[in-house]
Amino acid sequence: MQNFAKQISIFYRHVHIKADNTSRDPNKIRPEWFSHEICFRNLLDTVKSDKLGHRVKIIIVYDGVIDDFTADFMANYYADQSLGLNIQFIKGGSDLNSFLITLGLAKSTKINDDDLVYFLENDYLHQYGWVTKVFELFESGYQVDYVSLYDHRDKYHYPMYQDLTAKLVYSQSHHWRTSPSTCASFMLMQKTLDQDYEILSSGVTDFYFFSKLIGEKGRILLTPLPGLATHSMEGYLSPTIDWQQIAQKAYG
């Protein structure tokens, strides 16, 4: 008998804005509505308002020192005990190192084999209802190993994807498509993390480890149609969604 996921543990990778502007990618062009705090507040709101939000746990993985944290907007949210946030301090110093350390944290955390781990970067905005739709997908009976909530705009326009084909499936209230890769914000079951840890932690970029997981290991990656989240980069937002309106709701 198949066991269904009962919980999502979000490992939310965050770094002080001064480090994000230097050690990460300072050339990202952001939408006018963007801020890291808006993305985090949106995450809290979309979880809290969801009928299954009580099955979500958020662990902040803070890449930095205590002094930076106390001056970060994140400290105010962590201090609000009603939010039930957990925190882990790490010393990554780069996006890749931060990801690898977070992988190790998730692998060593006591999470049931069939529960979900969501690795999430701090510049994603989510649609309301995403939590329920994720649980619906994993209860649908389809083979699904990895899920990204981001509908990649580049896969519709880049020449390298002009011959890309996809299989479409549907869960109770949403459509999904297979995808050959995604960014470093994705979810999977804990048992899949254990099985694929060697590839995920090999030190290559997300495009390359997904190419290996899907091309060589036969893993299935699904992304939603339309997107349930977006990477907040101008020109790359998940299409057909008014993300500015969703961002504004975070401070409604």
pLDDT tens, residue order, the chain (252 aa) = 455 789 999 999 999 776 555 444 556 789 999 999 999 999 999 999 999 999 999 999 999 999 999 999 999 999 999 999 999 999 998 999 999 999 999 999 999 999 999 999 999 999 999 999 999 999 998 999 999 999 988 778 777 777 788 999 999 999 999 998 899 999 999 999 999 999 999 999 898 999 999 999 999 999 999 999 999 999 999 999 999 999 999 876
Cβ atoms < 10 Å from Cβ of 164: 13
Q: Please name every residue paired with 15 in a beta bridge, in sequence order, or none if there are none.
A: 63
Q: Please name every residue paired with 223 in a beta bridge, in sequence order, or none if there are none.
A: 177
Position 5 scores a pLDDT of 83
Position 1 scores a pLDDT of 42
Beta-carbon contacts of 13 under 8 Å, excluding residues fewer than 6 positions away, are 61, 63, 98, 99, 102, 119, 120, 121, 122
Q: Which two tokens stand for residue 108?
A: 């060593």
178/11 Cα distance (integer angstroms)? 24
Where does residue 50 rank: exposed (0-12), middle (13-18), buried (19+ CB within 10 A)? Answer: buried
135/157 Cα distance (integer angstroms)? 30
Asked if 122 contacts 198 with a C-beta cutoff of 8 angstroms, the reply is: no
Position 25 scores a pLDDT of 55
H/E element holding 230? strand 229-231
Instruction: Specify the pairing of strand 175-178 against strand 221-225.
Output: antiparallel
User: What is the dihedral sign for C-alpha 2, 55, 119, 48?
Assistant: positive
Smallest CA-to-CA distance from 193 within 11, 6, 2 is with 11
Asked if 37 contacts 73 with a C-beta cutoff of 8 angstroms, the reply is: yes
Asked if 193 contacts 200 with a C-beta cutoff of 8 angstroms, the reply is: yes
Q: Please name every residue paired with 103 in a beta bridge, in sequence order, or none if there are none.
A: none
Beta-carbon contacts of 188 under 8 Å, excluding residues fewer than 6 positions away, are 116, 117, 145, 146, 147, 196
Q: Which two tokens stand for residue 146?
A: 């990895």
Asked if 53 contacts 131 with a C-beta cutoff of 8 angstroms, the reply is: yes
Q: Which two tokens stand for residue 152?
A: 């990649």
